[in-house]
Amino acid sequence: MATHPAFFKRGGPWAWLIALAASLLWTLSTLAAGPPANPVYTFGIVPQQSATELARTWTPVLNALQAKTSLNLRFATAPDIPTFERRLAAGEYDFAYMNPYHYTVFHQRRGYAVFAREKDRLLKGIVVVRKDAPYRDLAALKDQTLVFPAPAAFAATVLVRAALTRQGIAITPKYVASHDSVYLNVAQGLYPAGGGVTRTFENLDPALRDRLRILWTTQGYTPHAIAAHPRVPAAVVERMRDALLGLDGDPAGKAALEGIGFKGIAAAQDADYNDVRELHIELLDPLGER
């Protein structure tokens, strides 16, 4: 049977069938190939410290995880905590290390699901002052300007400010982007006191830490969450969880954890953060913005 010449003519009656067939073949070949062999997963870290310091301390952790999982992980953070919140709201991070309040918000709004957290530590907010400061209790800070990392920094800001309010101690807050900035501002005498957390304080350069002292400490809460965006395949999350839980079992992993001030990492589930939900904090809107 002879093929009609129109079959070969550009724009002929058979042209749409050729285009359709080509499209179907491309789609089938793409599906057969599956997802990229080694996709990149971003691991976002809440900017409690400068990006340079976070990269220095967290890169060994991600390298250890890559070695254990064969996943391609990329370190990510943000210039400040409010920007980190907006990026969480946009779902930019595949994995994220975020504070407990952030987790309760972005679990509900964006589906981030916790699967791990720091082992053997509760998150505690602290108020720091210069070592030679005359202050002996929170009441001495009344009517002064205190420095904090960000409005929604859970332990360093929210818990500390709530305690001040309960005790009737009026202060003026000043926000300076990170925990390290808080400590530096207080050490330099620019502000009389500021909010932080025990882990970042302990991780300070000893020369800076020795210029400060902890005036007051909050009660403890479930620590920061390591959570996955819902787009990350369950099998990948499981590999990450198993690798995280096993980091303290070998020298390289243990050394990496020591660099971020962790003794180890434990499995976590959503219900672990009910202690934070019971505080009924409402600082971030549905998009994670102020």
Does 226 reside within a domain? yes
- Count of structural domains within the chain: 2
DSSP symbol at 159: I
Does 288 reside within a domain? no
**The CA-based dihedral angle spanning residues 107, 110, 116, 120, taken in that order and rounded to the nearest 10 degrees:** -40
Q: At what angle do helices 51-69 and 234-245 cross, to 10 degrees?
A: 100
- Whole-angstrom distance, CA of residue 271 vs CA of residue 285: 22
Domain with residue 173: its CATH number is: 3.40.190.10
DSSP symbol at 150: -
Residues 131 and 69 in one domain: no
Residues 107 and 132 in one domain: no
Residues 193 and 230 in one domain: no
Q: What is the pLDDT of residue 36?
A: 55
Residues 249 and 175 in one domain: no
Q: Summarize pLDDT for 140-176 with one digit per residue, the tens.
A: 999 999 999 999 999 999 999 999 999 999 999 999 9
β-partners of residue 96 are: 44, 227
Q: Which of 196, 217, 238 is the last residue of a domain?
A: 217
Does 6 reside within a domain? no
The whole-model pTM stands at 0.82
Task: Say yes or no to pLDDT of 263 above 50.
Answer: yes
Residues 138 and 254 in one domain: no
Residues 133 and 212 in one domain: yes
Q: Which of 217, 236, 255 is the last residue of a domain?
A: 217
Q: What is the pLDDT of residue 17?
A: 47
| 3-class DSSP string for 212-272 | EEEEEECCCECCCEEEECCCCCHHHHHHHHHHHHCHHHCHHHHHHHHHCCCCCEEECCHHH
Q: Which of 169, 195, 217 is the last residue of a domain?
A: 217
Residues 192 and 133 in one domain: yes
Residue type, 143: D
Residues 114 and 254 in one domain: yes
Structural domain span for residue 148: 125-217
Does 284 reside within a domain? no
Q: In which band, very low, low, confident or very high, does the pLDDT at 95 lie, cut at 50, 70 and 90?
A: very high
Q: Summarize pLDDT for 108-142 with one digit per residue, the tens.
A: 999 999 999 999 999 999 999 999 999 999 999 99
Q: What is the pLDDT of residue 19?
A: 41
Does 31 reside within a domain? no
Find the mean pLDDT for residues 22-39.
51
Does 34 reside within a domain? no
Find the mean pLDDT for residues 80-91.
96
Mean pLDDT in the chain? Answer: 89
